[in-house]
Amino acid sequence: MSINSILASAMTALQTNTAALKVVSDNVANINTQGYSRRVVNQTTQVAGGGLTGVDIADIQRITDQFLQSETLSASAGSAQYSAQSDVYSQLNGLLGSPGDGNSLGSQLDNIFSALATASQAPNTSTSQQSVLTALQGFANTINSTSSSISSLQSQVDGQISSSISSVNSLTKNIYNLNQQIQTATLGGDTSSGLLDQRDLAVQQLSSLIGVRTSVQANGQMTVMTQDGVDLVGDSYAQLSYAGGNANGTYGQIMMTSINGMSGKQVGQAQAIDPHLGSGSIEGLIDMRDNQLPAMQNELGNLARQTALAFNAQSNANSAAPPPSVMSGRDTGLLATDSLNFSGKTTIAVADSSGNLVSRIDVDFGAGTLSVDGAAPPVSIGTTVGSFASALNGALGSNGSASFSSGQLSIAANGTNGVVVQDDATTPSSRGGAGFSLFFGLNDVFEGAAPSILSTGLSASDSSGLAAGGSMSFVLKNPNGTIDKQASVTIAAGMSIGDVVTALNTSFGGAGTFALGSDGSMKFTPSGGNSSDTLNVTSDTTQRGNTGMSFTGLFGIGANQAAMQAQGFSVNASMISSPSSLPFAQSNLTSTTVAGDSILGSGDARGLIALQNLANSRQNFTAAGGMGAQTSTLTDYAANFYQDVATRSNAASTAATTQGDRLSEAQTRQSSESGVNLDEELSNMMTYQRAYSAGARMLQVGQTLYDTLLQMPV
């Protein structure tokens, strides 16, 4: 072996160990750098002509484990999904309060029944009346504010989704750009570029937003896909778009467009990404916005509706003493030309301020007649709502008036007299299952943004009353965000209710069916394949006559209609302005009652006690949100509502903890495999340092040999 070869080998030792020490230095410097994977030096012998010529670096290997990376990405997405939901539930629980804290719905109901119990001792005092009114308003305000809080939370979550989409777009473009740089580095022989750490960190951040999986190509590029295989980064990169906001409670889809990185132009058609999110914080937030929070809104609306029905039914069976001078009903959505469709009997009376009868009008809907103070022959009331209102107005004569306009029936007494309505005890009046006064809402306690009575009493042959050109648009949406069907109907002139139902069914093409019940209620049933879908009304420009009531609003169509029961929930404005009009008494009207007879007593508390008895009265609640159909008291349903929120919240919290533990374990194992170990690096440093010193020593030896050789005599 020549001295030159010794020097050459020694130089390779110096160069190789210098590079190795540089790798150790990089590892130590990045011990706390997020996403950094340690590097190791793989050495190989230098060979020339079959002989050893020293040492060389085969490659600098970046230590990663594909399985652990995949597990970390999956765990990151799951943890982010449930953490996002748990955070929203934490805010919701703070807004709702807790049962028994004095501010909950159950506590507010208890306040009503407690105030009624106290007022029963002196029902005609202003103190008793104001106390009950305050309790009623407290409950209504809590319903309304709770609904507003949930709606605000939905809007906040929607804003978080919009912000997250911007982050996704930034990350996918960054990963694409890093791919190009890594490919160049790989072709140049650099397989451990720091760009790889940057890309892994970006993918990790993306996985917290969308569930992803990855695949590394031979050229160093990484393909990033959703968990079900939709490409996010590859030869192109995905850019998401979302308009935000909602239409009638229905939020739009997130659309994905593939962008050619070289030209910046769109590749192919845009597609909805919602069904492909799989997991991640965006999926968790969408589930909260579209499923969890709406479910609670519907449960709240169900409580509001059944409370209104219970109190209003009893209130309309009662009367104030003295009776109110005017009874103005709610907007029923009916037209004067609609069929009357009432059965049974009711009595409409005018009484003086002392509760004595002035005049009595007995209405027999079955016979289609009315009589004044028992006089014969009875007078025809016709077959329509308008003809009945006209007949009633005529029967009141000088004692009062009646009118029907914009869907509302109004009955007024003249002078200081008041109006009393009482159904027949044997054959009470009914339209769609509601009594005369209740159906028209003549003496309601509670009112809201949507009608609580959805049994309209309309039949297929009734005119739709909708102007030509009005339209309705619908979306049938799967829980995972897939839109299974979009449908719309435009109203044509002269359509009947039955014609509109037929047009709706035609537009849905078998995806679901609308059916008009015998009581005038409307039911929508998704087809078998869409049984879990939710029907959303995205727009409705129809209006029934001049009532201001849309077709979908009248029949309560769409998932958002249940929630609307709680919106604008309030106590009847006439009762707020006049607490003495609270219906604490009950009238005594019979077929033998004549003018001058007492029909109301100022100290009568029978109506008040009937309202108080609602505390233990079991109501029939329909299924709403996550709560099935049930028969329970109002207070029990309110407690069940809080229990459902607590159950959902605990489930999200438990899942977040479980997925968080899974993520921590995956990260720990990944760190053990890919992270920097100071003891190991110190050992490597000492090894490379000694090897470097040995190489330097060999250079000195070589130099000495040359010096000795040069000093030898020729």
Highest mean pLDDT pick, 45-54, 159-168, 181-190, 526-535: 159-168
The pLDDT-based confidence of 172 (bands split at 50, 70, 90) is: very high
Give every CB contact of residue 704 below 8 A, 6+ residues apart in sequence: none
Burial 112-132 (b: 16+ CB within 10 A, else e): bbebbeebbeebbeeebbebb
Return d(Cα 434, Cα 314) in angstroms, integer.
Answer: 12
| Stronger pLDDT, 1 or 581, i.e. the higher one | 581
pLDDT at position 248 over 70: no
Establish whether the linkage from the previous residue to 377 is cis, with ω within 30° of 0.
yes
Mean pLDDT along residues 137-141: 95
Return d(Cα 643, Cα 296) in angstroms, integer.
Answer: 11
Q: What is the pLDDT, as a whole number, of residue 700?
A: 86
Return d(Cα 45, Cα 285) in angstroms, integer.
Answer: 56
Q: What is the pLDDT, as a whole number, of residue 714?
A: 67
Return d(Cα 158, Cα 177) in angstroms, integer.
Answer: 29
Asked if residues 57 and 190 have their Cβ atoms less than 8 Å apart, the reply is no
Q: What is the pLDDT, as a whole number, of residue 53?
A: 80
Environment class of residue 330 by beta-carbon count within 10 Å: exposed (0-12), middle (13-18) or buried (19+)?
A: buried
Mean pLDDT along residues 662-681: 83
- Token pair 């109506």: residue: 607
Report residue 302 as tokens. Answer: 């169900």
Mean pLDDT along residues 523-548: 90
Asked if residues 312 and 244 have their Cβ atoms less than 8 Å apart, the reply is no
| Stronger pLDDT, 120 or 68, i.e. the higher one | 120
Q: What is the pLDDT, as a whole number, of residue 674?
A: 77
Mean pLDDT along residues 478-495: 90
Asked if residues 340 and 647 have their Cβ atoms less than 8 Å apart, the reply is no
Q: What is the pLDDT, as a whole number, of residue 94?
A: 85
Closest residue by Cα to residue 73 from 232, 189, 265: 232
DSSP calls for 539-603 = EE---BTTS---HHHHHT-SHHHHHHTTTT-EE-HHHHH-GGGS--B-----TT--TT-B---TT
Report residue 434 as tokens. Answer: 């509601």
Q: Using only C-alpha atoms, what is the Rg of the chain?
A: 39
Number of Cβ atoms within 10 Å of the Cβ of 461: 10
Q: What is the pLDDT, as a whole number, of residue 569?
A: 93
pLDDT at position 244 over 80: no
The pLDDT-based confidence of 165 (bands split at 50, 70, 90) is: very high
Q: What is the pLDDT, as a whole number, of residue 18?
A: 86
Mean pLDDT along residues 185-204: 86
Return d(Cα 225, Cα 228) in angstroms, integer.
Answer: 8
Looking at the chain, the whole-number percentage of residues with pLDDT higher than 90 is 68
Phi, psi (rounded to 5 degrees) for 389: -60, -40
Q: What is the pLDDT, as a whole number, of residue 66?
A: 82
Burial 143-155 (b: 16+ CB within 10 A, else e): bbebbebbbebbe
Environment class of residue 265 by beta-carbon count within 10 Å: exposed (0-12), middle (13-18) or buried (19+)?
A: exposed
Closest residue by Cα to residue 419 from 315, 321, 344: 321
The pLDDT-based confidence of 530 (bands split at 50, 70, 90) is: confident
Amino acid at 664: S
pLDDT tens-digit readout, 552-564: 999 999 988 888 8
Closest residue by Cα to residue 367 from 389, 388, 396: 388
Number of Cβ atoms within 10 Å of the Cβ of 44: 11
pLDDT tens-digit readout, 619-654: 999 999 889 999 999 999 999 999 999 999 999 999
Number of Cβ atoms within 10 Å of the Cβ of 243: 11
The pLDDT-based confidence of 100 (bands split at 50, 70, 90) is: low
Q: What is the pLDDT, as a whole number, of residue 99?
A: 66
pLDDT at position 491 over 90: yes
- Token pair 């490659």: residue: 59
Report residue 389 as tokens. Answer: 């209102």
Asked if residues 115 and 125 have their Cβ atoms less than 8 Å apart, the reply is no
Mean pLDDT along residues 185-209: 88
Mean pLDDT along residues 672-693: 84
Q: What is the pLDDT, as a whole number, of residue 542?
A: 96
Q: What is the pLDDT, as a whole number, of residue 249?
A: 66
* Mean pLDDT score across all residues of the chain: 91
Amino acid at 617: S
Q: What is the pLDDT, as a whole number, of residue 45?
A: 86
Mean pLDDT along residues 670-675: 79
Q: What is the pLDDT, as a whole number, of residue 710?
A: 82
Q: What is the pLDDT, as a whole number, of residue 673?
A: 77
Which CA distances in Å does 637 have to 391, 620, 629? 43, 10, 11
Burial 612-643 (b: 16+ CB within 10 A, else e): bebbeeebebeebbbbeeeeebbbbbbbbbbe
pLDDT tens-digit readout, 313-353: 999 999 999 999 999 999 999 999 999 999 999 999 999 99
pTM of the model: 0.88
pLDDT tens-digit readout, 278-319: 999 999 999 999 999 999 999 999 999 999 999 999 999 999
Return d(Cα 343, Cα 363) in angstroms, integer.
Answer: 10
